Structures are given as C-alpha cells and as structure tokens.
Amino acid sequence: MTVERVGVSFEPELLSSFDAMLRERGYASRSEALRDLAREALSKRAVDEGNGKVMGTLTILYDHDASGLSHKLVHVQHEHHAEVMSTLHVHVDERNCLEVLLIKGERSEVKLLAERIRALKGVELGELVLVKA
C-alpha cells in the first residue's frame, strides 16, 4: 500500500490536548489517530448522505415500570422485524433496563425504527450508531 505525506498545523493548546488523547487511547503515532478520525468522518458522511443499506446498533435505557412501555417496545420491534436482527437485554437495577438492538436495513427504515423507539414515554436515552452495510 502506498501512502502520501501531508502536513497539518495545530495551535499549541490543541496539539497538547490531541497528544494527551493519543496517549490515553494508546496510539503509536499521530498519523494513525488522524487516519482513524478521517475514516470515522467519512463513514459518518456516507451514512448521513442519502439512502442505502446500513447496519449498527440502537442502545436504549428505559424504565420498565413505565406504563405499557415493555409491550410497546416489543410491538415496535415486531413491526420492524426486517430491521431488527438481534437484541440484548440487561437489567440495570430494580427499575431500569438497558437494551441493545442490532439493526440492518435501508437507512430510512432504520432511522424510523430508532425515532419511534426513542419517542416512547419512559425511554430515557437512545443512541443510534450506524455504518454503511
């Protein structure tokens, strides 16, 4: 594989913070960290632009005692059975549950599924992470 060298200018404070982050994350070089940031930005752009097949996770935290919420969550997931590949359910404490949905499908359908679930009363957090399929 060939590579091209490029120069990057940083303000001293930004470079100091960037280097601290690299040490915390265990990067061997600034170059590898910058490549990872570029890949992440390009992947996000590919997902954000237009439609197409995507896959990823929807992580939700919710109060299982919220009126009818467990039933509504299952119902929405069944309505989107083509997009929901698998789920992982964890009991956080007496009231709260963490659920991770592994999802795949057309971007528009996956986003609709996530929006419908995040909008349910009792869902406290919902984070959607997608990549191009």
pLDDT in tens, 79-128: 999 999 999 999 999 999 999 999 999 999 999 999 999 999 999 999 99
Residue 1 placed within a domain: no
60 in the same domain as 41: no
For 19-65, what is each residue's pLDDT tens digit? 999 999 999 999 999 999 999 998 888 888 878 899 999 999 999 99
Residue pair 30/22 in contact (Cβ under 8 Å)? The answer is yes
60 in the same domain as 40: no
Q: In the 3-class helix/strand/coil scheme, how is 26-67 assigned residue by residue?
A: CCCCHHHHHHHHHHHHHHHHHHHCCCCEEEEEEEEEEECCCC
121 in the same domain as 104: yes
119 in the same domain as 60: yes
- Domain tally, the chain: 2
Containing structural domain, residue 27: 12-48
The SS3 call for residue 1 is: coil
CA distance 114 to 119: 9
60 in the same domain as 125: yes
- The answer to pTM > 0.85 is no
Half-sphere exposure of 20 (CA within 13 A, CB side): 6
